[in-house]
């Protein structure tokens, strides 16, 4: 069986190269089933070995913390880049950046125990939703995106950590997902939902969107490299907004 599969795998590229000469590879039904089983098994193995929520990313950093961070910033690449590009902002204030590029709210919720609660901060700033709107992990409704963020808030409060909900920064379109239409409008709607939830539940809402957005809901010129991810100039606008919200509770 293994020999048959290997032979088929070797022949497939040759078949593609020979298409212009109308050469067709014919395989029996049983051989096709063998090939299908082979790739299905590989896919199952890869799925079983996948750290879906990326716990590995901060496992070592969490274990090596020498002091309890005052604030944890939970998020995606926008938070990830922030902690990398302006490390001093986090180090000097005893903040911990726990952003992971590409992550959706579902992945953040799964790792919230490990990357926030276990660190025992006084505050957590949750900035999430960009990649849900972009469809990074498939279709999800805005209601479910909001519920994921709400669940993170509830987990934080249950462990004596004050959550702050951050607006999703503006973005008019995703370079990695150009098929997504009206990103700006969808983000605006999601932010309204988050702001409403924050107000009803007496949670501070950290509004980066208003400071970063133009009148069409896109990033203002000069504060982003791609229309979605802030540059240092963009973070320079965000940092005083974050600090103002944080200083109400943590000096």
User: 152-180: per-residue pLDDT in tens?
Assistant: 999 999 999 999 999 999 999 999 999 99
Alpha helices by DSSP H, 49-104: 56-63, 77-85, 87-93
- List of residues 6+ apart from 157 with CB closer than 8 A: 163
pLDDT tens for 2-59 read 444 444 444 445 444 445 555 555 667 676 666 566 556 666 666 567 789 999 999 9
Q: Both ends of the chain: CA-CA distance in Å? A: 67
> How far, CA to CA in Å, does 12 sit from each of 28, 37, 40, 140?
14, 16, 17, 37
Between 69 and 36, the higher pLDDT residue: 69
Going by the DSSP 8-state scheme, the letter that residue 71 receives in this structure is E
Q: So what's the pLDDT on residue 6?
A: 43
Measured N-to-C along each axis, helices 183-200 and 142-158 cross at an angle, to the nearest 10 degrees, of 40
Phi-psi region of 129 (alpha: psi -120 to 50; beta: other; left: phi over 0): left
Q: How many CA atoms lie within 13 A of 73 on its CB side?
A: 29
Over residues 241-249, mean pLDDT: 98
Alpha helices by DSSP H, 100-213: 105-115, 130-133, 142-158, 183-200, 209-212
| Domains present along the chain, CATH in parentheses | 2-48 (no CATH), 56-246 (3.40.50.1110)
Q: So what's the pLDDT on residue 16?
A: 47
- List of residues 6+ apart from 111 with CB closer than 8 A: 53, 54, 55
Q: Is the pTM of this model over 0.95?
A: no
Distance (Å, rounded) from C-alpha 29 to C-alpha 14?
A: 20
Give yes or no for a contact between 105 and 129, defined as CB atoms under 8 angstroms apart. yes
Indicate whether 66 pLDDT > 60: yes
Indicate whether 68 pLDDT > 50: yes
Q: So what's the pLDDT on residue 8?
A: 43
Give yes or no for a contact between 121 and 155, defined as CB atoms under 8 angstroms apart. no
Indicate whether 120 pLDDT > 80: yes
Backbone angles phi, psi at 220, to 5 degrees: -65, 150
Q: So what's the pLDDT on residue 143?
A: 98
Mapping DSSP to helix (H, G, I), strand (E, B) and coil, where does residue 218 land? coil
Predicted confidence band of residue 98 (pLDDT cuts 50, 70, 90): very high
Over residues 120-137, mean pLDDT: 98
Q: So what's the pLDDT on residue 216?
A: 96
Q: So what's the pLDDT on residue 9?
A: 44
pLDDT over 70, % of the chain: 82
Residue from 88, 87, 106, 81 nearest 226 by CA:
81
Q: So what's the pLDDT on residue 138?
A: 95
pLDDT tens for 185-239 read 999 999 999 999 999 999 999 999 999 999 999 999 999 999 999 999 999 999 9
Tell the burial category of 102 from Cβ atoms under 10 Å away from its Cβ (0-12, 13-18, 19+): middle
Tell the burial category of 223 from Cβ atoms under 10 Å away from its Cβ (0-12, 13-18, 19+): buried
Can you tell me which residue has the tokens 């913390």? 65
Q: So what's the pLDDT on residue 50?
A: 77
Distance (Å, rounded) from C-alpha 5 to C-alpha 156?
A: 51
């Amino acid at each position: 069986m293994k020999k048959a599969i290997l032979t088929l795998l070797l022949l497939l590229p040759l078949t593609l190269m020979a298409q212009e000469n109308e050469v067709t590879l014919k395989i029996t039904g049983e051989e096709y089933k063998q090939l299908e089983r082979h790739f299905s098994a590989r896919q199952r193995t890869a799925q079983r070995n996948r750290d879906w929520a990326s716990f590995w990313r901060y496992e070592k950093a969490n274990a090596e913390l020498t002091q309890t961070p005052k604030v944890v910033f939970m998020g995606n690449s926008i938070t990830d880049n922030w902690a990398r590009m302006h490390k001093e902002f986090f180090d000097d204030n005893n903040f911990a950046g726990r952003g992971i590029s590409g992550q959706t709210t579902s992945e953040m919720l799964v790792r919230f125990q490990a990357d926030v609660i276990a660190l025992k901060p006084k505050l957590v700033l949750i900035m999430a939703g960009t990649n849900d709107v972009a469809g990074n992990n498939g279709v999800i409704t805005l209601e479910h995106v909001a519920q994921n963020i709400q669940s993170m808030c509830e987990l934080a409060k249950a462990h004596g950590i004050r959550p702050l909900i951050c607006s999703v920064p503006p973005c008019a379109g995703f370079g990695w997902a150009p098929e997504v239409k009206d990103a700006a409008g969808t983000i605006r709607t999601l932010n309204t939902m988050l702001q409403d939830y924050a107000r009803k539940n007496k949670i501070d809402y950290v509004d980066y969107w208003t400071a970063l957005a133009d009148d069409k809901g896109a990033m203002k010129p000069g504060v982003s490299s791609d229309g979605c991810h802030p540059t240092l100039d963009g973070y320079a606008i965000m940092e005083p907004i974050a600090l103002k919200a944080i200083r109400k509770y943590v000096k």
